[in-house]
Amino acid sequence: MTRRFTVACLQTRPRETADSATAEAMPLAERAADAGAALICLPEYAGGLATDGAAVRPPAIAEGAHPLVAALTGLARARGVWILLGSVAVPGAGGRILNRGLMIAPDGRVNGHYDKIHMFDIDLAPGQSHRESATVSPGARAVLHDTPLARIGHTICYDLRFPMLYRDLAQAGAEILAVPAAFTRSTGEAHWHILNRARAIENGAFVIAPCAVGPVPGGGEVYGHSLVVDPWGTVLADGGTEPGVVLAEIDPEQVAQARLRIPSLRHGRPYDAPEQRRPAAE
C-alpha cells in the first residue's frame, strides 16, 4: 500500500509588511500547486517579519483580516490543496503578539492552529542577542493536525531544540513533524541540518522544514535550506540559499516501516531523574 504525495516548501524572503509578504509568497504557492503539491508549507513569520534591536516586530494582524491568510485560503479552495502556514503574527493579550501557525484545508477553512511554545531568547555573541519574548507571548499546547494525507505535528523554529516536544507528538501519532522556521544564518550553519535530521531519526518520522532566506528588515539574516527529511534521516530535498519552491515526494507508510526497524518510541522506560542543583555561586 502507498500513500505517496508531493510536498512543497516555499522558501520566501522576510518582508516588512503583510502586503509585501503576501506578494512574496503567493507566486511561489501557485507554482507549488502547478507542480502537483498536495501539501504546501510556508516558513515562520511568512506574513511579515522585521526586527528592532534584539526584539522581533512582525506586523500583527488578526487572522480574519490578514491578507496572506485570505490569499492562502482562497488558493486552497481553488486548487484543492492543504496548506501549512508556518506562522503569522496575530494580536495577543496586553499589547503582545502570538506567533501562530495555521493549517488550511482544501475547502479554505482554517482547520487548526498552533502558537509557538518556546521563545527564541539567546545571546550568540556581543551584539547578537535575540529576545522573542520581548514582544511575543508563548503558547502552551502541542498541536497535531489530522489530515487525510498524514498526521502532522506543528512546531515552529526554536522548538526544534526541545526534543521531548517531538517525542510527545510522535507518540501521539504524528507521521510528519513540521518545523517552519526563520532560523538565523549563524545558528543554521552550525545546527540546522543536524537538528532536523535528528528529530526525524529519533522519532521515525518525516520532517518538513520550510525556512525563510535572506536579510531581515531591521537587521539579521535567515538561513534558508528548507528541508524534507525521511524517517531514516535522509535529506530528500534542500532549498539552498535562494528563494523558490522545494519539492519532494513522500510516502507516510515509510514511517511505520522505520518504527518497526527501530521501535524506540515504545522502548522508553521510567527512570528517576537526577537531582537538580543550582550552579555554584561565582
* 23-33 pLDDT tens trace: 999 999 999 99
pTM of the model: 0.95
pLDDT at 282 over 70: no
pLDDT at res. 229: 98
- Catalytic-role residue among 41, 116, 175, 211: 116
- The number of distinct structural domains making up the chain is 1
| Residue 213 resides in a domain | yes
The reply to whether 43 falls in a domain is: yes
Q: Let me know if residue 276 belongs to a domain.
A: no
Q: Is 41 a catalytic residue?
A: no
- Give domain status of residue 100, yes or no: yes
Asked whether the predicted pLDDT for residue 278 surpasses 90, the reply is no
Which CATH number do you get for residue 218?
A: 3.60.110.10
Q: Is the pLDDT of residue 281 over 80?
A: no
Print the domain residue range for 97. 5-265
In-domain check, residue 70: yes
Q: What is the per-residue pLDDT across 132-183, written as a single tens digit (0 to 9) for each?
A: 999 999 999 999 999 999 999 999 999 999 999 999 999 999 999 999 999 9
Identify the pLDDT of residue 1: 58
Is residue 157 annotated as a catalytic residue, yes or no? yes
Residues 26-48 have a mean pLDDT of 98
CA–CA separation, 220 and 40 (whole Å): 26
Q: Would you say residue 105 lies in a domain?
A: yes
Q: What tens digit of pLDDT does each residue of 236-277 get?
A: 999 999 999 999 999 999 999 999 999 999 999 999 999 887
Strand spans (E) along the chain: 5-11, 39-41, 51-52, 55-56, 82-91, 97-104, 110-115, 121-123, 129-131, 143-146, 151-154, 176-178, 206-209, 213-215, 221-223, 227-229, 235-238, 244-250
Q: Output the nine-digit C-alpha cell for 183.
A: 532560523
User: Is 274 part of a structural domain of the chain?
Assistant: no
Q: Which of 44, 132, 175, 211 is catalytic?
A: 44
C-alpha 217 chain-centroid distance: 20
Catalytic residue among 9, 24, 132, 157: 157
Kindly state whether residue 278 falls inside one of the protein's structural domains.
no
Residue 277 has what pLDDT? Answer: 78
Specify whether 211 is catalytic: no
- List Cα–Cα distances, 214 to 11, 41, 182, 211, in angstroms: 10, 18, 10, 10
What's the pLDDT at 223?
A: 98
pLDDT in tens, 72-122: 999 999 999 999 999 999 999 999 999 999 999 999 999 999 999 999 999
Mean pLDDT of the chain: 96
Please report the pLDDT score of residue 279 as a whole number. 67
